[in-house]
Chain A
Amino acid sequence: MINKEQLDELLKIKGEVKGVVFQTDADYILKKEGEQGLKKLEKRIKELGYPIDYRKGKALDLHPIGLRVISLFLIKDTFDWSDEEIRNMGYTAPTTSFIVKLLMKFFVSYMKFMSVVPGYWGKHYTVGNLEVINLNDETKDATLHLKDIKIHPLFCLYVEGYFERMYQFVVGKEGRCRETKCMLKGDPYHEYVFWLKK
């Protein structure tokens, strides 16, 4: 159980995130818990005094990155969800994201997407750098490194699910993504490895 002081600490993390993440959070909660579920979460957010507007917030507005994790935390805690459910929330996010709609021209092919991946990260976050380390157009294997962003394991899990769905969008097949290195475990970067499901 996390307390308010711990959550407030998260607000000290440098960097910002686009409001689209709260829109996709709200879409997922509505799907899983319905209108009552979203109201329950909104009540909790309001009581704790965090400025997250799940309904009227604009997709492209910038918010402190700490709010991203606070939202994940409070969702997990309010609905007593497992880590897997948070990962699944990340996996579902690209299907309702307005930014994905804006950037559809990126989702043309595996190679095209991988060539614009660093910029794609920047469309969502003002901190962190995403780099393509390994790429194989034949097998569709890939390795990405996410640097200069150290937030929370819950965020890493969410991103892993998100990346997995993006990968499937461009390979057109079922694929997997796993975080194999993590800055929160002492590694110099987060490493995400992608492969096609056999």
Chain B
Amino acid sequence: MNMSFGSKNSKKKIKTEEEVQGLESYIRDFWRFLPLPVCYINPVNIILDVDEVFSCFSNYQPTEIIGEDLGKLFADSKKIEEFKKEILEKEIISNKELVFLTKDKKEIPVSISAMQRKDEKGNFIGYFLSLTDISESKRFQEKLEKEIEKKAADLKEKIGELERINKIMTGRELKMIELKEKIKQLEKQLKS
């Protein structure tokens, strides 16, 4: 009886271990696959995990950045402090623009998204944070803004020119009317 109970328990234990090992392998593969820089942060804003892409993006080895405060990774300390407060209140934050600081102090404009994690009782236990490099779109936006500015200046110049021509034409018209009036008066004088 006891042997059978022990054997059942042992089988159950082996099955659980296999499931956990499967989960371990799945988590490792998933973190390796993720094509975005992603990290996991605890409620006191300490980085507890990063994926490989995050490591390449930031130039930090996981062992260098895990255990550090999230604030170390962003240029504007005020904005990141605001973000830290915001994530305590919102379950999801999408596309917030910040400037990322790599290990070699290179500044990269990024859009960050974050999602809260909660335990079974609904307590906040940390959050996932992902980064999107928006340098290209920022450059494109700046180029577009400059082009728009240039076009607007060209247009302004052309409008000015038109206004000048219009003024000249109007002056000319008025002069013509005046002259016609004079001719009429002269004709009248001649007749009388």
Residues of A whose CB lies within 8 Å of any CB of B are 27-28, 31, 58-61, 92, 94-96, 98, 100-101, 104-105, 107-109, 165, 168-172
B62 to chain A: which residues have CB within 8 Å?
A: 95-96
Does A60 lie within 8 Å of B126, measured CB to CB? Answer: no
A169 near B125 with CB under 8 A, answer no
A27 and B63 in contact, given A108-B123, A172-B69 (Cβ under 8 angstroms): yes
Q: Which residue of B lies closest to A32 (CB)?
A: B63
> Could you list 22 A-B pairs, sorted by A, with CB under 8 Å?
A28-B63, A31-B63, A61-B17, A94-B67, A95-B63, A95-B66, A95-B67, A96-B66, A98-B27, A98-B28, A101-B48, A104-B49, A104-B125, A104-B126, A105-B119, A107-B126, A108-B125, A165-B67, A169-B48, A171-B44, A172-B44, A172-B46
Q: Which of B21, B24, B69, B123 has the most CB of A within 10 A?
A: B24
Task: Tell whether B94 is near chain A: CB-to-CB under 8 Å.
Answer: no
Which B residues touch A171, using CB under 8 A?
Answer: 44
The B interface, classified by DSSP as helix, strand, loop or mixed, is mixed
B67 pairs with A96, CB closer than 8 A: no
Residue of A nearest to B66 (CB): A95
From A27, A60, A100, contact of B48 by CB (8 A): A100
Known: A60-B17, A169-B67. Contact between A98 and B24, CB under 8 A?
yes
Interface on B for A, CB 8 Å cutoff? 17, 20-21, 24, 27-28, 40, 42-46, 48-49, 61-63, 66-67, 69, 117, 119, 123-126
Chain B: minimal CB distance from A103 (Å)? 10
Chain A residue, CB-CB nearest to B125: A105
Residues of A within 8 A of B43 (CB): 108-109
Across the interface, B49 reaches (CB within 8 A) one of A28, A101, A109, A168, namely A101
Closest residue of B by beta carbon distance from A99: B24
B63 with A107: CB separation less than 8 A: no
In Å, the complex CA distance between A108 and B123 comes to: 10
| Residues of chain B lying within 8 A (CB to CB) of residue A107 | 42, 46, 48, 126
| Alpha-carbon gap, A28 to B63, bound state (A) | 9
Interchain residue pairs A-B with the least CB separation, the first 5 = A172-B44, A95-B66, A105-B125, A95-B63, A107-B42
B45–A172 touching, CB < 8 Å: yes
Which chain A residues lie closer than 8 Å to B61 at the CB level? 31
Q: Within the complex, which residue of A28, A59, A104, A168 is in contact with B67, where a contact is CB–CB below 8 Å?
A: A168
Q: How far is the CB of A11 from chain B (nearest CB, A)?
A: 23
**Which of the listed residues A94, A95, A98, A101 has the most CB atoms from chain B within 10 Å of its own CB?**
A95
**Which residues of A have CB within 8 Å of B126?**
104-105, 107-108
Give the shortest distance, in Å, between A26 (CB) and chain B (any CB): 13
* Contact indicator A58/B24 (Cβ below 8 Å): yes
Q: A31-B61, A101-B49, A169-B67 are in contact. Are A58 and B21 (CB under 8 A)?
A: yes
A107 and B119 alpha carbons, distance in the complex (Å)? 12
